[in-house]
């Protein structure tokens, strides 16, 4: 345990509090058991270490551990927690829980046996508590942490932190909201940079090596997270890579499942499983027709990459694809999105959106109730025409 403490104190000393995610304010840190899941690279570990440094002294009452540490190949997580608790520990942060085979059962026992110990744990976006052997679903308060929104990126880049807005606020007051932002900064001056490298907070470390690190992140998801969490054989990862590459070069992709099966050598049933895994891992976004999700026999209506940074890393940077991917990723965090029968997207079973450049006309949505034109390359809109960048203010 002493070695784990020393490693934690080293991380504590190096933790920078200058760039703190807004997501930290979403979490109710007073709960006894908090779970935070999210894709690789979105900043889960950094956020927890920042919370610790802001609220705790390095005095033995707080400890950060990662369950992928070799220590846990021969030592029990429960026993470590018990020893920490007996020595007066009050806050235990546990990273990479999905890398420890029996984590859910031991977490439940820790929760039940040590009622005055607070625990925060992180795991892969692949993590599903309802699939865990132990019943953590009624014990843990779970949060899903996305990458940076455009709003957060603007805060990091300019020092101006704007309030997030709801979709209804955006639709009803987008002109006023856009004028408020544009009076302080020029949002379009930062938009292309966000689309290229602004989703993952590690861009702050080095923009030059960002895409190299992102490529390594994608490989780690495929070769480590999916194989370990979903029990996919290592020999089958080549099929997952092939599937991702085909989709990356074709998005937005309207899948012909039979043709895709033939091109990849993946059976139809396995194809559905693999698409679900890539979606859970946040490498893909699956857009379905209203009311028909992955549990149905229906294929996704469209397939997108998980965010625009992945397009520039894996795909060809097609502008139309970039626009739709940005809209979908930023909007789906707090809204329900389906494929629209008349345009690009149907949101919350009410609003229809058609996404395009500043020359896009409203012909396609003419006569459609509650329909809006979302245009790139405009700073301020009017009426039913809304700037694309503003959907980055939703979280």
203 and 340 in a single domain? The answer is yes
167 and 105 in a single domain? The answer is no
260 and 372 in a single domain? The answer is yes
Q: What is the pLDDT of residue 99?
A: 87
Domain boundary among 119, 145, 171: 145
Q: Return d(Cα 60, Cα 38) in angstroms, integer.
A: 28
More confident residue, 175 or 298: 175
Indicate the SS3 state at residue 302.
Answer: strand
The one-character DSSP state at 208 is T
When mean pLDDT is compared across 63-72, 310-319, 366-375, the lowest value belongs to: 310-319
pLDDT digits (tens, 9 = 90+) for 180-230: 999 999 999 999 999 999 999 999 999 999 999 999 999 999 998 898 877
Mean pLDDT, residues 299-314 taken together: 94
Whether pLDDT at 303 is above 50: yes
Mean pLDDT, residues 130-159 taken together: 89
Q: What is the pLDDT of residue 129?
A: 66
Q: What is the pLDDT of residue 296?
A: 47
Domain boundary among 114, 129, 145: 145
Q: What is the pLDDT of residue 230?
A: 77
pTM of the model: 0.92
Q: Please state the domain count of the chain.
A: 2
When mean pLDDT is compared across 204-208, 216-220, 250-254, 349-353, the lowest value belongs to: 250-254
Mean pLDDT, residues 108-134 taken together: 87
386 and 237 in a single domain? The answer is yes
Whether pLDDT at 134 is above 70: no
294 and 350 in a single domain? The answer is yes
Indicate the SS3 state at residue 156.
Answer: helix
Kindly report the backbone phi and psi dihedral angles of residue 284, in degrees, each rounded to the nearest multiple of 5, phi listed first: -130, 155
Q: Return d(Cα 41, Cα 86) in angstroms, integer.
A: 34
DSSP 222-273: IIIIHHHHS---GGGHHHHHHHHHHHHTT-SB---HHHHHHHHT--HHHHHH
Most confident among 122-131, 202-211, 235-244 (mean pLDDT): 202-211
Q: Return d(Cα 270, Cα 289) in angstroms, integer.
A: 21
86 and 222 in a single domain? The answer is no
Query: How many other C-beta atoms lie within 10 A of the C-beta of residue 128?
Result: 13
Task: Please give the share of the chain, as a percent, with pLDDT higher than 90.
Answer: 82
133 and 53 in a single domain? The answer is yes
353 and 216 in a single domain? The answer is yes
Q: What is the pLDDT of residue 132?
A: 64
> Helix 77-86 and helix 103-113: axis angle, to 10°?
20
Domain boundary among 115, 145, 175: 145
When mean pLDDT is compared across 185-189, 302-306, 312-316, 332-336, the lowest value belongs to: 312-316
244 and 121 in a single domain? The answer is no
CATH number for the domain spanning 129: value is 3.40.50.300
What's the chain's average pLDDT?
93
Whether pLDDT at 294 is above 80: no
Q: What is the pLDDT of residue 133?
A: 60
Residues 326 and 392: beta-carbon distance below 8 Å: yes
Distances (CA, A) of 373 to 109, 115, 176, 210, 308: 53, 53, 17, 33, 20
Kindly report the backbone phi and psi dihedral angles of residue 287, in degrees, each rounded to the nearest multiple of 5, phi listed first: -105, 120
Whether pLDDT at 128 is above 80: no
DSSP 350-382: TEEEEEE-TT--SGGGTT-TTEEEEETT-SS-B
213 and 110 in a single domain? The answer is no
138 and 286 in a single domain? The answer is no
176 and 90 in a single domain? The answer is no
Mean pLDDT, residues 105-131 taken together: 91
Lookup: tokens for 304: 């997108």
Q: Return d(Cα 387, Cα 377) in angstroms, integer.
A: 7
290: pLDDT confidence band, cut at 50, 70 and 90?
Answer: confident
Domain residues for 80? 2-145
Distances (CA, A) of 355 to 144, 247, 345: 27, 21, 8
């Amino acid at each position: 345990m002493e070695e784990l403490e020393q490693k934690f104190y080293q991380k504590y000393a190096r933790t920078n509090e200058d760039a703190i995610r807004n997501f930290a304010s979403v979490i109710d840190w007073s709960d006894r058991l908090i779970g935070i899941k999210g894709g690789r690279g979105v900043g889960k570990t950094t956020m927890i270490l920042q919370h610790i440094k802001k609220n705790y002294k390095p005095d033995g009452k707080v400890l950060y551990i990662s369950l992928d540490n070799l220590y846990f190949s021969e030592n029990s997580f429960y026993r470590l927690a018990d020893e920490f608790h007996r020595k007066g520990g009050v806050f235990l942060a546990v990273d990479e829980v999905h890398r420890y085979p029996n984590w859910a059962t031991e977490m439940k026992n820790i929760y039940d046996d040590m009622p005055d110990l607070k625990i925060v744990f992180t795991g892969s976006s692949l993590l599903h508590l309802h699939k865990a052997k132990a019943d953590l679903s009624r014990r843990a308060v779970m949060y899903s942490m996305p990458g940076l929104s455009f709003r957060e990126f603007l805060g990091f880049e300019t020092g101006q932190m704007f309030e997030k807005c709801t979709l209804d606020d955006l639709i009803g007051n987008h002109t006023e909201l856009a004028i408020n932002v544009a009076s302080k900064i020029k949002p379009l001056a930062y938009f292309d940079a966000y689309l290229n490298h602004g989703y993952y907070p590690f861009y702050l470390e080095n923009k030059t090596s960002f895409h190299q690190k992102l490529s390594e992140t994608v490989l780690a998801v495929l070769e480590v997270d999916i194989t370990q969490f979903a029990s996919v054989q290592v020999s089958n990862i080549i099929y997952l890579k092939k599937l991702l590459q085909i989709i990356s070069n074709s998005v937005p992709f309207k899948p012909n499942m039979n043709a895709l099966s033939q091109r990849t050598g993946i059976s139809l049933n396995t194809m559905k499983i693999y698409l679900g895994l890539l979606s859970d891992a946040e490498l893909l976004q699956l857009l379905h027709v209203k009311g028909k999700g992955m549990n149905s026999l229906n294929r996704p209506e469209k397939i997108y990459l998980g965010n625009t940074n992945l397009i520039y890393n894996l795909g060809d940077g097609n502008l139309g694809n970039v626009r739709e991917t940005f809209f979908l990723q930023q909007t789906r965090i707090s809204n329900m999105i389906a494929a629209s029968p008349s345009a690009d997207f149907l949101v919350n079973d009410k609003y229809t959106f058609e996404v395009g450049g500043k020359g896009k006309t409203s012909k396609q949505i003419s006569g459609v109730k509650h329909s809006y034109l979302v245009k790139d390359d405009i700073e301020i809109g009017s009426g039913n025409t809304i700037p694309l960048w503003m959907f980055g203010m939703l979280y």
